[in-house]
Structure 1
Amino acid sequence: MDENFRPLDASLRRKLRDIVRIVPRVYSFLWQVTPGYFAISCAIMVVTALIPAAIIYMTKVIVDGVVEAASGGSHWTDLVTPVAVVFGLWLVETLLGTVSNMVQSMLSERVQFAARERIVAKAGSLDIAFYENPKFYDQLRHAQDQLYQVTGIVWSSIGLVRSGVGLTAMAGLLTILHPFAIVVLFVTVLPSLLMQGFFARLWFDFDTQWVRNYRMLDYLQRLLTSRDSAKEVRIFTLKDALVGRFRRFRETQLRAYLRMQFRSMRVRTGLDIVSLAGVASIWAYAVYQAALARITVGDLTLVFNAAQQARSQLNALVGSGGQVYEQALFATRFFDLLDMDPASVEAALAPPPPTPAPTPKRLTQGIEFRNVSFKYPGTDKWILRGVSFDVPARSKVAIVGENGAGKTTLVKLLARLYDPVEGEVLFDGRDLREYDLGHVRRDVAVVFQDFFRYDLSAADNVGFGEIRALDDRDRIQAAAKQAGAHDIIEALPKGYDTVLGRTFDEGVDLSGGEWQHLAISRAFLSDAQILILDEPTAALDAFREHRLYEQVAELSANKTVVFISHRFSTVRMADLIVVVEDGEVTELGDHETLIRHNGKYAAMFNTQAARYR
């Protein structure tokens, strides 16, 4: 973990035109999500930008009126109107501030949820090859962590406009003293503008450099707080070691963070002193002019307030500009993820043909593996090499072999989670890549050994097997009965509506075998023509497994079934047995044929049978 990873080197060299391209895209995104709140927020910010200048001018009028009334030149009642106007402006500013806070809060919530929805939708659409790639996780982490920058750009850019409008108004007021006063302010604040962009770049580089460290901290935290790891952490007394490792990673990162903060603080302090000197020079000149009676006391008050406000507005303008630049840099990560090319990683699925074919409504020839070779992305080791065999339509086929032989990889290729590196998998004589991927997903149901446990309702855990039947309770119950899960579910506190797992307070956990029954129920619910069981019954005893496979054979008479099992009492039920060794198919045939052949299958069968003699 000493290596600092930079996920998209190209994005680190973005030029200003790339940043300018992102800002309109953010505004377009917000307009799509919540146009009403967006328009109201923009309008409020522009109006509130003009109020301070109006208040300063009215203050000048009041001061001059007081001086004139004190000298007997006017009556004090002439001051009622300007004083009322100032109070009215304060009231409007307060009310608009309250409304603006509410509108911004609602807009931020809507945008955050919409952005998160875009991320999960994009992540769910990418091939499984992305999830074998650590760089993808770095980029996903970047996008998730920087979601707030999307709305941040809006507030910063609107703030930029507001500061610009306010600064223009203040500059107009300062011309009462001298037009050169505006130049002094700009010259003394200009260095801050340049440094904003410089430090925005540094913070972006810092975040990019330390993303792998962030992920390691998250992982260590999950190890210490996850239910899945809780047992081993305690059995092997890992707590102190993991906490120590967490602390070391965190301290290393904090030291780097503090160095950046101190560097930024030194520079910003110096630049603030320079800008204050500019305001002080304007004040000194205004006092000089007032002493010579070239401007009124009200003008002096106006210059004092306007100069300080102009400095604040100019600093805000510079700050907002720097924030827009910095936030746009970070927001590019969100849009980079949304724009990610599905074919941008090794072993991604081949793009669909211009007119993908629908899968056949009923398999007639079956499935064929033809000279299939495969290796996982990022490795040079061939998992499968030159594999060829046929799976007749509506047959029951078992795949056997030692651990690591390539059995599960065959299943992944058949379900088109991956494409072969060489060779092809055919459905009814046609390459699987020529079919519509959505049709393939509907026609192939898989229950993996490491099936997922959804901490949702029992009905969801079964219904996810056929999403179109998620609300069909009768079908869900029928599938659960076929898989032996119905009685398990009915015994739960709320039956099919019981939330499972320990993620939520009301959740009820199940044993490993009970979870397996629910996973197999998903397969029974599916309308798929092809059912694949990748050793999903490991937590069941041999008797229950055998009975379950008998049910599978009975209920899937019109389906093609491919299963992986290490229990030969189950394997011998298959019409065809495929023996895989070191990524190659070495034997094919039914149980009796392979026993007579006296090869690898016979050796494995006899070894297991000997345990029961």
Structure 2
Amino acid sequence: MKNEKNTHGLLNNLKFMLHEQWVFEKKATVIPFIRILSDLAVALMGIWLPKVVLDAISQSIPVHVFLTQIGLLTVALMLLKYISYYSEQGVLKNAVRIWNVHFYIKKDWKILDMDYSIFTSPKGKILIEKAHDSLSRNVNVNMASFYPKLVELVRSVLGLLSFCAVIAFLNPIIILLLLISYGIDGLISLNIQKWEHSIKDKRATIDRKLYYVFDSTNNSSIAKDIRLYDMKSWINHAAKSFMNEKNTLEKQVETKHLLQRLFEAFLIFIRNGGGYIYLIWKMLHTDMTVGEFTLYFGAISGFGLWLHQIVRTINGLSNASCKVDDYRNLMDTKDKLMRSEGEQIPALNEPVEIVLENVRFHYEGSDQTIVDDINLTISKGERLAIVGVNGAGKTTLIKLICGLLEPVSGRVLMNGMDIRRFNREAYYSLITAAFQNVCVLPMSIAQNITFKDESDIDTEKLEKCVELANLKEKMDRLPKRYSTQLVPSVVDDGVNLSGGELQKLMLARALYKDAPLIILDEPTAALDPIAENQMYLRYSELTNNKTAIYISHRLSSTRFCDRIIFVEHGKIIETGTHDELLARGGKYKAMFDVQSQYYKDYIEEKAI
């Protein structure tokens, strides 16, 4: 995987987010700047109004003139506040919430669409976790807050400049002193932000551990194991351990923020106190009116508030920019496999030839070789069985053939063409597979098999595949048959299928796709002996006019295949037919003898 840079830069992120905002909703891009103008007017009127009131009192102007001035200013103030409220609450914040969902959907689509090898790699998992975090929190602090923070920064800077103009009439030196004070505070805050960004990988790693534990407690597939093996103690211990790890890290973050806030409070006391003392001295020694005193008093206080908002907003903008980096690092991740137009794929109605040339593979960050220099040719229409002990590399070998993983060295060919030269989706259309892990979605059984809209399903083909998978009897017992919904935890009228029934469903799904290369990874692991035998008897029909690869631990099933390879430590150590391997007396025969002994013992016990 391409080594992604950690940051795109604030200006680059600014350009990216402005473009995204403009494309997503133009109104929400423009209207916030109306709020800026109204807020500036409100702020200036806020320090001007007390001056008008006090000067009017001191100058004894007529009551009707005073009330007219105050009334007009009040109406203007209310109107401006409404414009500000509407632009912020009615437009910007609502747009940001929807915008956040927009980014979330794009992020999830990227995760679903990215190369499997990147998705499962350690770097890929960190990228995904950080991208999740960039959008999973409150919209006021995640990456969607970038544009509102930008608007807030522009507003605060213009407000600061406006108040600077007022204070300049009093004494420009005050502006310099206030800027130095807030500059120190801002530098400290930014350093804390940089440090916090530097530990994000560590945070993401801890969060992944916690989410794994939390997901385990809600995973119905392991609920039985948790109870029967009293795994609660381990889960609680792991959760406490990870929580302590997270708590320690978060305490370090909070301590830094607390110290920064204490120092900030000290600076506020010094600068505001100094400003007020100077104003009092000025009023006592010059002709400054009470109204002017109030105006400058409000300007100094407001100056501090604008500066504080600038520091806070830069802090928030910096944090949001880091979140944008995390999102973009995931979105910019380049797939290794061909996504543009590739070589012409083989015909879908003819079996294919698969050749592995000196294929080696190990997972990223690991020195352990999983597939070690394998050379293998699977002829067109051949039915090949891959056997071996757990961890021998069988499933990894299948993933390499499927193009889900890419060899570290060597290459995989289909009909003489390196599979990396095919378009990824086009290549996947050539493969149908039933893996050990069952994946069902909260939709009808028909849709779970075909992944098509009800109106687009070939009913005759569906029924044939269901019958071949030996699932027809189950369908006939269901009142809604193929329209029966699955995943009852999501769908109100959904049903659960047994482990064996789910495996049959996966087989029916593989058959319906009807690709020239069919891969069955332990397709009978959850089947009873009768159902398993029925599937074996139909094996020729299931794999008719296809190149078939079959993985199984049950060696009695391999006699239906044309050839068998025995894999150990990522190498092919034996190859031949069932009878040839038994006659050879090697590892295959030793494993077969062990398994067949159980069947013999079972038969003898039944006879007794």
Which TM-score bucket, shorter chain as reference? 0.7 to 0.9
Structure 1 position 227, deviation (Å): 2.0
- Alignment check: 8 A CA contact 1:365 1:429 kept: no
Write the distance in 1 (CA, Å) between the matches of 2:475 and 2:41: 65
Mapped pair 1:394 → 2:381? yes
1:192/1:406 CA distance change after superposition, 3 Å: closer
Please show how residues 53-92 of structure 1 align to structure 2 within 5 Å: 53-69=44-60, 73-92=61-80
Aligned to 2:20: 29
Aligned to 2:606: none
- Unaligned 5+ residue runs, structure 2? 604-608
Write the distance in 2 (CA, Å) between the matches of 1:511 and 1:271: 63
- Unaligned 5+ residue runs, structure 1? 1-6, 344-348
Aligned to 1:483: 469
Of 81, 85, 92, the match for 1:93: 81
Please show how residues 174-323 of structure 1 align to structure 2 within 5 Å: 174-291=167-284, 294-323=287-316
1:463/1:168 CA distance change after superposition, 3 Å: same
Q: Residues 205-238 of structure 1, C-alpha deviation per residue, up to 9 Å, x if partnerless?
A: 3434333222222222223333233222222223
Mapped pair 1:112 → 2:100? yes
Which amino acid is 2:291 matched to? Answer: G
- Alignment check: 8 A CA contact 1:397 1:576 kept: yes
Structure 1 position 540, deviation (Å): 0.7
Write the distance in 2 (CA, Å) between the matches of 1:405 and 1:207: 36
Structure 1 position 293, deviation (Å): 6.1
Please show how residues 522-533 of structure 1 align to structure 2 within 5 Å: 522-533=509-520
- Alignment check: 8 A CA contact 2:465 2:512 kept: yes
1:588/1:193 CA distance change after superposition, 3 Å: closer
- Alignment check: 8 A CA contact 1:405 1:580 kept: yes
Give the length in aligned residue pairs: 592
Aligned to 2:395: 408
Structure 1 position 364, deviation (Å): 6.5
Aligned to 1:500: 486
Aligned to 1:472: 457
- Alignment check: 8 A CA contact 1:531 1:561 kept: yes
Of 14, 33, 42, the match for 1:42: 33
1:409/1:244 CA distance change after superposition, 3 Å: closer
1:67/1:496 CA distance change after superposition, 3 Å: farther
SS of residue matched to 1:531:
strand
- Alignment check: 8 A CA contact 2:386 2:549 kept: yes
- Alignment check: 8 A CA contact 2:555 2:592 kept: yes
Aligned to 1:545: 532
Which amino acid is 2:309 matched to? Answer: A
Structure 1 position 87, deviation (Å): 3.2
Of 420, 434, 453, the match for 2:421: 434
SS of residue matched to 2:564:
strand
- Alignment check: 8 A CA contact 1:371 1:387 kept: yes
Q: Percent identity?
A: 25
- Alignment check: 8 A CA contact 1:546 1:569 kept: no
Range moving further from structure 2, 480-489 or 511-520: 480-489
1:503/1:35 CA distance change after superposition, 3 Å: farther
- Alignment check: 8 A CA contact 2:564 2:575 kept: yes
Write the distance in 2 (CA, Å) between the matches of 1:259 and 1:290: 47
1:302/1:499 CA distance change after superposition, 3 Å: farther
Structure 1 position 414, deviation (Å): 1.8
Give the structure-2-normalised TM-score. Answer: 0.87
Structure 1 position 536, deviation (Å): 1.7
Please show how residues 450-599 of structure 1 align to structure 2 within 5 Å: 450-464=437-451, 471-472=456-457, 474=459, 475-489=461-475, 491-492=477-478, 494-501=480-487, 503-504=489-490, 506=492, 507-595=494-582, 597=584, 599=586
Q: Residues 401-442 of structure 1, C-alpha deviation per residue, up to 9 Å, x if partnerless?
A: 333333323322221122333433322222222322222100
- Alignment check: 8 A CA contact 2:574 2:581 kept: yes
Which amino acid is 1:560 matched to? Answer: T
Mapped pair 1:378 → 2:371? no
Structure 1 position 312, deviation (Å): 0.6
1:518/1:605 CA distance change after superposition, 3 Å: same
Structure 1 position 444, deviation (Å): 0.7
1:577/1:264 CA distance change after superposition, 3 Å: closer
Aligned to 1:324: 317
Which amino acid is 1:200 matched to? Answer: Q
What CA RMSD, in Å, does the superposition of the two structures yield over aligned residues?
A: 3.1
- Alignment check: 8 A CA contact 1:26 1:150 kept: no
Q: Residues 236-286 of structure 1, C-alpha deviation per residue, up to 9 Å, x if partnerless?
A: 223234323322432343244334323432333233332343233333333
Write the distance in 2 (CA, Å) between the matches of 1:288 and 1:357: 87
- Alignment check: 8 A CA contact 2:372 2:571 kept: yes
1:185/1:229 CA distance change after superposition, 3 Å: same
Write the distance in 2 (CA, Å) between the matches of 1:590 and 1:167: 84
1:228/1:300 CA distance change after superposition, 3 Å: same
- Alignment check: 8 A CA contact 1:128 1:418 kept: yes
SS of residue matched to 1:210:
helix
Aligned to 1:103: 91
Which amino acid is 2:210 matched to? Answer: L
